[in-house]
Structure 1
Amino acid sequence: MSKKRQVAVVSVLASSVYLAGCGLFESNEAIDPPQTVSYLEDGEAVETTGEEANPTSSISTEAPEGSVRTDLFLISADGYVVPQSFDLPEGENAAQQALDYLVDGGPITNLLPNGYRAVLPADTEVTVKMDGETAVVDFSNEFATYAPEDEQHILQSITWTLTQFDGVKNVKLSLNGEELTEMPVDGTPIAANGTSRGMGINLLASDLVDITNTKPVVVYYLTQTAGGYDYVPVTTRISSESTNASTEIVQELIEGPAFTSSLVSDFMPGVALVSEPTIADGTLTLNFNEGILMNMEDRIVSSHTLNALTLSLTEQPGIERITIQVNGEMVEATDDGTSLISPVTRPENVNTGSY
Structure 2
Amino acid sequence: MQKRSLLLISMAMSLAIILTGCFQGEQSLDDKEIDPPPNAEAVNENELDEPASGKQGDNADKDKAEGDTSANTVERQLYLLDANGMVAPQTLQVPQPESKEVAAQALEYLVKDGPVTSMLPNGFQAVLPAGTQILGLNLKDNGEMIVNVSKEFENYKAENEMKILQAMTHTLTQFEQVDKVKLQIDGQLQNTMPVNGTPIGEGYSRANGINLVQSETVDLMQSEPVTLYYPSVQGDNQYFVPVTQHVDVDNKDIYGSMINELLEGPNFDTNLQHVFNGEAELTNNPSLRDGVLEVMFSQGVLQDSQKQDGDKAVISDKVMESLVRSLTQDKAVEAVEVKVEDVETLFNENGEPYTEPVTKQKFISKQKL
TM-score (norm 2): 0.75
1:107 and 2:115 aligned:
yes
- Tell me which of 66, 73, 76 is aligned to 1:70: 76
Cα distance, 1:248 vs structure 2: 0.7
2:356 aligned residue: 342
RMSD of Structure 2 on Structure 1 (CA)? 2.6
Cα distance, 1:36 vs structure 2: 6.1
2:324 aligned residue: 310
Q: Which runs of 5+ in 2 are unaligned?
A: 1-20, 29-54
* CA distance in 2 between partners of 1:328 and 1:337 (Å): 19
2:243 aligned residue: 234
Which letter maps to 1:137?
Answer: V
CA contact 1:207–1:237 (8 Å) conserved in 2 = no
Does the C-alpha gap of structure 1 residues 349 and 299 become closer, same or farther in structure 2, counting only changes over 3 Å?
closer
CA contact 2:107–2:168 (8 Å) conserved in 1 = yes
Identity of paired residues, percent? 34
Equivalence map 1:93-132=2 (5 Å): 93-126=101-134, 127-132=136-141
Cα distance, 1:349 vs structure 2: 6.2
* CA distance in 2 between partners of 1:208 and 1:160 (Å): 28
Cα distance, 1:109 vs structure 2: 1.0
* CA distance in 1 between partners of 2:279 and 2:325 (Å): 22
SS at match of 2:182: strand
1:33 and 2:33 aligned:
no
Cα distance, 1:116 vs structure 2: 0.5
1:251 and 2:266 aligned:
no
Select the structure that is richer in helix: 2
Cα distance, 1:37 vs structure 2: 7.1
Cα distance, 1:104 vs structure 2: 1.1
2:34 aligned residue: none
1:321 and 2:321 aligned:
no
Equivalence map 1:1-355=2 (5 Å): 33-34=23-24, 60=56, 65=71, 67-88=73-94, 89=96, 91-126=99-134, 127-132=136-141, 133-190=143-200, 192-206=201-215, 210-239=219-248, 242-294=251-303, 295-296=307-308, 297=310, 298-327=312-341, 329-347=343-361, 350=364
Aligned pair count reads 301
* CA distance in 2 between partners of 1:33 and 1:328 (Å): 32
Which shows bigger deviation, 271-280 or 90-99?
90-99
Which letter maps to 1:81?
Answer: V
Which letter maps to 2:128?
Answer: L
Does the C-alpha gap of structure 1 residues 214 and 248 become closer, same or farther in structure 2, counting only changes over 3 Å?
same
Select the structure that is richer in strand: 1
SS at match of 1:165: coil
CA contact 1:32–1:347 (8 Å) conserved in 2 = no
Encode CA deviations 1:83-124: one digit per residue, 9 max, x unaligned. Answer: 111234154322111101111111111111111000111111
CA contact 2:314–2:346 (8 Å) conserved in 1 = yes
* CA distance in 2 between partners of 1:107 and 1:72 (Å): 13
Does the C-alpha gap of structure 1 residues 36 and 154 become closer, same or farther in structure 2, counting only changes over 3 Å?
closer
Does the C-alpha gap of structure 1 residues 348 and 72 become closer, same or farther in structure 2, counting only changes over 3 Å?
farther
Does the C-alpha gap of structure 1 residues 316 and 269 become closer, same or farther in structure 2, counting only changes over 3 Å?
same
SS at match of 1:205: coil
Which letter maps to 1:103?
Answer: V
SS at match of 1:121: coil
* CA distance in 2 between partners of 1:147 and 1:330 (Å): 54
* CA distance in 2 between partners of 1:223 and 1:182 (Å): 32
* CA distance in 1 between partners of 2:106 and 2:319 (Å): 30
Q: Which runs of 5+ in 1 are unaligned?
A: 1-30, 39-58
* CA distance in 1 between partners of 2:295 and 2:84 (Å): 32
Encode CA deviations 1:213-265: one digit per residue, 9 max, x unaligned. Answer: 22211110122211142100011123467432111111011000112221122
Which shows bigger deviation, 71-80 or 327-336?
327-336
Encode CA deviations 1:38-83: one digit per residue, 9 max, x unaligned. Answer: 9xxxxxxxxxxxxxxxxxxxx7259954554321100111010001
> Which structure has more RCO (C-alpha within 8 Å, separation ≥ 6)?
1
Encode CA deviations 1:242-300: one digit per residue, 9 max, x unaligned. Answer: 43211111101100011222112200111001111122222212111111111334310
1:43 aligned residue: none
TM-score (norm 1): 0.78
SS at match of 1:117: coil
* CA distance in 2 between partners of 1:341 and 1:331 (Å): 8
